[in-house]
Amino acid sequence: MTQLPEVPPAGHGPEDVDLTGVRNFRDVGGLPTVDGRTVRYGRLYRSGHLAHATATDAAFLAGLGLHTIFDFRNAADHKLDGLDVELPGVRNVSIPLSDPADGAEFWRLVRDGNIQQLRSILADGKGTERMVASYRSIIRDRTAEHSRVLHALAEDSVPALMHCAAGKDRAGLSIAVSLLAVGVEKEAIEADYLKSNDAHRRYRIRRSDTSSAGMSDEVLELLDPLFGAEAEYLAAAFSTIEEIWGSTDRYLVEGLKIGPETRARLREQLVEDA
């Protein structure tokens, strides 16, 4: 008999469900809003990709009653890791938040480059600078995609699972935007985001050279900014909102075209009643 991961009782989210082939899975329920309410459990989940989900993982995920899975990966990610497993009765929506051609050579060097090449693209803070620029770009340039996600959540897509490859950057920003839209405190959004650094959650680094030299301490240190969740990255996203739109409210209204009615429906879907 297949033993599924234990699901907590109603009203208490799966805080730390250990799935075998899916990393970084969690329910964002329980996070506090600025008006003293909390995000509902069982409404919005986040994870890394589902391509390597085991049969037991898939059975657990199918048992969550998901309506929609949002996959923010691009074609290059699908080629590297594979397509998500299909869950019966669940709608799969692909909304790439990065262009596979953007940085293709960079990511090839991350996988295949020698130490000199890695130093050239990552040393002296270059890795961190790249991640900060990426977060700023996704907020600035992907307003149509984030608008689509929020309208879907408001209309018919909950319970929903959002993921990218590692579940920390593209999915992390989409979760952050969704939580901002329903009034979750920024400190709580950051605390949830940083959980992606937990050892059992982190995306496994893919290197063609898995020898001691190819995976040396220096190599791992150089790669760490790319595979870690840093408060600085999320802060860059929040500051980009302020710099371009002046406030979160204007970002939602002008940038994402989220009017009062849609925002009210989002709260109904995702936040506990007062």
Q: List the pLDDT tens digit at each of the 274 positions of the chain.
A: 344 444 444 444 555 677 999 999 999 999 999 999 999 999 999 999 999 999 999 999 999 999 999 999 999 889 888 999 999 999 999 999 988 777 777 777 877 878 888 898 899 999 999 999 999 999 999 999 999 999 999 999 999 999 999 899 999 999 999 999 999 999 999 999 999 987 677 666 776 677 777 778 888 889 888 888 999 999 999 999 999 999 999 999 999 999 999 999 999 999 998 6
Token pair listed for 93: 């929506």
CA angle, 166 then 207 then 112, to 5°: 120
Q: Are 255 and 141 in contact (CB under 8 A)?
A: no
Q: Distance between CA atoms of 140 and 10, rounded to whole angstroms? A: 38
Token pair listed for 108: 């090839």
- What pLDDT shows up at residue 7? 45
**What is the value of pTM for the model shown?**
0.89
- What pLDDT shows up at residue 201? 73
83 burial class (0-12, 13-18, 19+ CB within 10 angstroms)? middle
For 225, other C-beta atoms within 10 Å of its C-beta total 19
Residue 95, amino acid: I
Contacts 24+ apart (CB under 8 A), 236-240: 236/132, 236/135, 236/136, 237/135, 237/136, 237/138, 237/139, 237/173, 237/176, 238/186, 240/135, 240/136, 240/139, 240/140
- What pLDDT shows up at residue 5? 45
Q: Are 22 and 166 in contact (CB under 8 A)?
A: no
Token pair listed for 267: 């709260």
Q: Are 115 and 226 in contact (CB under 8 A)?
A: no
- What pLDDT shows up at residue 76? 87
DSSP three-state, residue 185: coil
- What pLDDT shows up at residue 208? 63
